[in-house]
Amino acid sequence: MAVTDAKIHPNNKTALVPVVVGITTATGQTDTKALGLIPGFKFEVARVEVWSSAVTATISVNVKVGATSVLTGAVTPVAGSVVPGTLATSRLTRRGSATDQLNIEYTTDGTGAATNLRVTVWLRPYPLNGEV
């Protein structure tokens, strides 16, 4: 029996695909796109994590499908710690079509930087087993 996306349970972790983005920050940026990606399949953002080895500025990261944030608010990195983003409660907000663009954006103040800033967005295809 072949395993296909349609047979995988929506909560199964094997369907998750990580997208890891390294960001080199610049000062005084507002919603600056660090990555635009079209996954090529219908997707849902399952998790967002931000990590940096050092932070000497006010920096925040946002993840969007098109122009709509998948988070309840931007994520502020903390040096040496993985900071999870809080996902929007509506699954429709976190989903994109095969042609929608996933955007990772950052905002900084006028000073400082983040060192080794990494954003990991975990995607999964949908629909999976039992989803419409």
pLDDT at 2 over 60: no
Give the residue from 131, 128, 125, 119 showing the smallest Cα distance to 40: 125
The mean pLDDT value for 84-90 works out to: 98
- Among residues of the chain, what percentage have pLDDT more than 70? 89
Q: What does the pLDDT read at residue 111?
A: 87
Whether the Cβ atoms of residue 39 and residue 46 lie closer than 8 Å to each other: no
Q: How many C-beta atoms surround the C-beta of residue 25 within 10 A?
A: 21
Highest mean pLDDT of the ranges 10-14, 25-29, 71-75: 71-75
The mean pLDDT value for 48-60 works out to: 95
pLDDT at 88 over 80: yes
Task: DSSP for the chain, please give it.
Answer: ----GGGS-TT-GGG-EEEEEEE---SS-SSEEEEEE--SS-EEEEEEEEEBSEE-S-EEEEEEETTEESBSSPBPPBBTB-EE--B-S-TTTTEE-TTPPEEEEEEE-SS--EESEEEEEEEEESS-TT--
Q: What does the pLDDT read at residue 10?
A: 66
pLDDT at 100 over 90: yes
The pTM is what? Answer: 0.90
The CATH number that domain 5-125 falls under is: 2.60.120
- Among residues of the chain, what percentage have pLDDT more than 90? 75
